[in-house]
Amino acid sequence: MDCATFVEEQVAHIKQTVGEAQAINALSGGVDSSLVTVLGHRALGDRLRTVFIDNALMREGEPQYVVDAFAQMGIPVENVDARKEFLSALAGLTDPEAKRHAITETFYSGVFGRLVRESGAKFLLHGTILTDIEETVAGIKRQHNILSQLGIDTEQAYGYGVLEPLKTLRKDDVREVCRYLDMPAALANRMPFPGPALATRIVGEVTSERLDTVRKATAIVEEELADSGAFQYMAVLLNDRATGIRENQREFGRIIVVRCIESTDARTATATELPWPKLHQLCHRIVTEIDDVNRCLYDLTPKPPATIEYI
């Protein structure tokens, strides 16, 4: 792929299609939406409104990290605090699909849908990549039809356009274009992180207290495994509790699973053979630094039959 030609063509296409109108995009900080944001701003400048929606499910410091990283590139990003809305949509839900559905609905029909309607934007920029389209067609992923997800019917939708400048690229091409555009390496090489964020790593109900536990464990795992070279690594909070003993008191504590995998495209995966001392260090930190956690397990299961995430 020739990055220079790709960038030139996409910027020209966005400019030509949007004309003098306003456009909007949601930035998650993942590599796809980050590249769309940079291309969109090259094409439209301040006629592109970029929002980061804080859904309460983000990692430690993530909203600020994303806003700051783009500020350094001269791109303003609005942080929209939608934490309450997402948490109330998730309250009481334990079924994995029901949780995913609540997050999708709150994002598209609720928070982002409202922003799009209120903003008067005539175009949405979306970071769909080729793999998303293939997986949608194959029925592996939920469909990416933004307009219907926004609850906009075809008549109302008339005049609205969705632009998907990355739809011919795969993940490694996206990273290559990011590097070509001199985007920070930390963004270009960012580890995959799912849209439903930490909710995919909580078995059972997603509450702000349980999010705090998994968020702290995630920070430890990401810090300890940053130089592991693994494809993806994470912490997961189980729904069970286990007996333990601390300071001569029996306790019924929480259980964290550490998952670290090798993969090339996330379709299949195997557990990374982490050295024992590293596993001990992870276990030690997780059961001593996080309140109420007294067990730490390492997941050896390949995909298939397991998936990478837990919901």
Give the C-alpha separation, 53 to 95, whole Å.
24
Q: Name which of 10 and 232 has its Cβ closer to ligand XMP.
A: 232
CA-based torsion, 220, 175, 192, 76: positive or negative: positive
Q: Which pair of tokens denotes residue 149?
A: 């997800």
Closer to ligand XMP by Cβ: residue 44 or 52: 52
Place of tokens 């296409």: 13
Edge-first strand listing for the sheet containing 123-125: 78-81, 48-54, 23-26, 123-125, 161-163
Which lies closer to ligand XMP via its Cβ, residue 226 or residue 245? 226
Cβ 132 to ligand XMP, closest distance in Å? Answer: 8
Q: Give the C-alpha separation, 77 to 109, whole Å.
A: 21
Q: Which residues bind ligand XMP (CB under 6 A)?
A: 192, 194-196, 200, 232, 266, 303, 307-309
- Nearer to ligand XMP by Cβ, of 18 and 217: the residue is 217
68 secondary structure, DSSP code: H
Q: Write down the least CB distance from residue 265 to ligand XMP, Å.
A: 9
Give least dist CB 150 to ligand XMP, A.
18
SS3 61: coil
Please answer whether residues 236 and 301 qualify as being in contact, where contact means their C-beta atoms are separated by less than 8 angstroms. Answer: no
Q: How big is the CA angle at 302 (ends 299 and 305), to the nearest 5 degrees?
A: 110
When the beta carbons of 7 and 86 are compared against ligand XMP, the nearer one is 86
Q: How far is the CB of 20 from ligand XMP (least distance, A)?
A: 32
Q: Which is nearer to ligand XMP, 18 or 235 (CB)?
A: 235
Residue 124 CB, shortest distance to ligand XMP, in Å, is: 17
Least separation in angstroms between residue 35's CB and ligand XMP is: 14
